[in-house]
Amino acid sequence: MQGFTATTSPAPFAPPAGFTPLSPEYDPWDPIRSLRAYGRHALTSVEFTTTHLCNMRCEHCAVGDSLAMTEGAHLPLDLILRRLDEVERLETISLTGGEPTFREETVKQVLLPLLRYARSRGIRTQLNSNVTLDYARYELIAPYLDVMHISFNYTEAADFHGVGFARTGREVGLGAATRMYERMMDNARRLAEGGLFVSAESMINFRTHEKMGDIHKLIAEMGCRRHEVHPMYPSSFAANLPVLSKEQMRIAVDGLLDARDPRIWMLFGTLPFYACGGDPLERQLLQRLRTEPNVTVRNDPDGRNRVNVNLFSGDVYVTDFAAVPPFGNVKTEKLDDVFDRWQAHEMQQRLNCHCDAAGCCGPNLLVTDMYYRDVDFTSRRAVL
């Protein structure tokens, strides 16, 4: 057990002294760690959908279709904590939305108790937030949080205005958007200065692929310790946006590696390149990703070591792939039991490959659906 006492040190949001620092060598969200430790995929991570409310409507939002204007009550917290107690190998918790801090009541009655619970068990936590609201909300939870995960896909306020309110259904003025943009950057900076690990995620898509280097520069200036980068996949609001070819994706990743600040941890995820593939340029990029310092490629946690729990309905999701409906419900089942059932499912088995030397445990359903519909990954092997 690792407890935590609030402190008046100059870094009030720094993790407790006994906690292993998050780093390219220690990323407890990566399912390859639990696969290696237990010899099979194991549930070590739980993500909670804490709200469907949000002050933004980004054009690419991966949960856009589930956003709402109002919502009911959360499930009783003691049921959720009991379900977490039962997860034998729990290592990480992620809190997502919507914008989890949208209502102050959610911050105080849901986020804070879950974060305090996690701290008391030595479990690492991440909050996915747009950090555009009052700093006071973030300041309240920062002392108990391990990773503040923000989205950042912009080079200036006009980008933020164009992307962040595309699906609001009403006009949002550039002036108002600019104020939010500046507050977001200011909040991220203040949290980072306070010692919090701020990780900014950017997506490679039709808007960003040629300006990833400039986006990265602003992320570095805000004091973020990590830049997380994923291709955009066509789900939810992004379903009808233009998609990039694998070649455009590869060029964008290569260019970003050239432009990056080497002091910042670059974490790539859901890339459509695999060590079992035959394309020489993709293989070259994979080699570069493997060997450059401070760069990691994380395997996708969804359905590998993580489930998502909706805190209103109790539904448990094993992947954000639209074709897979909820797989169970916390009102009636243990999370380990839901997870084990999913592991035996044909859909999971179809992609259940593992090449340890490449640190790879296969593509996820979204990647295969977009780029590899007819490929049987279970019959392929990494060539290093």
Chain positions contacting ligand SF4, by CB under 6 A: 274-276, 353-355, 358, 360-363, 377, 380-382
Six-digit token string for 177: 């958007």
Query: Which is nearer to ligand SF4, 231 or 363 (by Cβ)?
Result: 363
Complete edge-to-edge strand list for the sheet that includes strand 328-329: 295-298, 265-269, 226-231, 197-204, 147-151, 124-129, 92-96, 45-49, 306-310, 315-317, 328-329
In the bound state with ligand SF4, the residue whose beta carbon lies nearer, of 42 and 360, is: 360
Coil/strand/helix, residue 302? strand
Both ends of the chain: CA-CA distance in Å? 40
> Could you give the residue ranges of the DSSP H alpha helices within 60-211?
77-86, 104-106, 112-121, 135-141, 157-164, 174-193
* Those residues with Cβ within 8 angstroms of residue 99's Cβ, 6 or more apart along the chain or in another chain: 51, 53, 54, 55, 56, 129, 130, 132, 133
**Is the CB of residue 271 less than 8 Å from the CB of residue 231?**
yes
Torsion sign, CA atoms 373, 36, 18, 24? negative
How far apart (Å, rounded) are the C-alpha atoms in residues 298 and 329? 28
Positive/negative CA dihedral, 299, 373, 209, 324: negative
Q: Which is nearer to ligand SF4, 185 or 355 (CB)?
A: 355
Min separation Cβ 359 and ligand SF4, Å: 9
- Taking the C-alpha atoms of residue 86 and residue 95, their distance in angstroms, rounded to an integer, is 19
Residue 184 or 358 with smaller CB distance to ligand SF4: 358
Cβ proximity to ligand SF4, 169 vs 280, nearer residue = 280
Cβ closer to ligand SF4: 109 or 284?
Answer: 284
Distance in Å, CB of 360 to ligand SF4, minimum: 3
Report, in Å, the least distance between residue 239 CB and ligand SF4: 25
Q: How far is the CB of 275 from ligand SF4 (least distance, A)?
A: 4
**Contacts of residue 109, Cβ cutoff 8 Å, sequence gap at least 6:** 74, 77
Instruction: List 92's β-bridge partners, or say none.
Output: 45, 124
Q: Report the length, in residues, of the chain.
A: 384
Q: How far is the CB of 260 from ligand SF4 (least distance, A)?
A: 24
Residue with tokens 């002294």: 17
How far apart are CB 374 and ligand SF4 at their closest, in Å?
A: 14
> How far are the Cα atoms of 82, 170, 261 from residue 294, in angstroms, in the given order?
37, 42, 10
User: Closest CB to ligand SF4 among 146 and 300?
Assistant: 300
* Residue closer to ligand SF4, measured from CB, 68 or 384: 384
Q: How far is the CB of 97 from ligand SF4 (least distance, A)?
A: 31
Beta carbon of residue 383, minimum distance to ligand SF4 (angstroms, whole number): 8
Shortest separation between residue 230's beta carbon and ligand SF4, angstroms: 17
Q: Considering beta carbons, is residue 265 or 274 the nearer one to ligand SF4?
A: 274
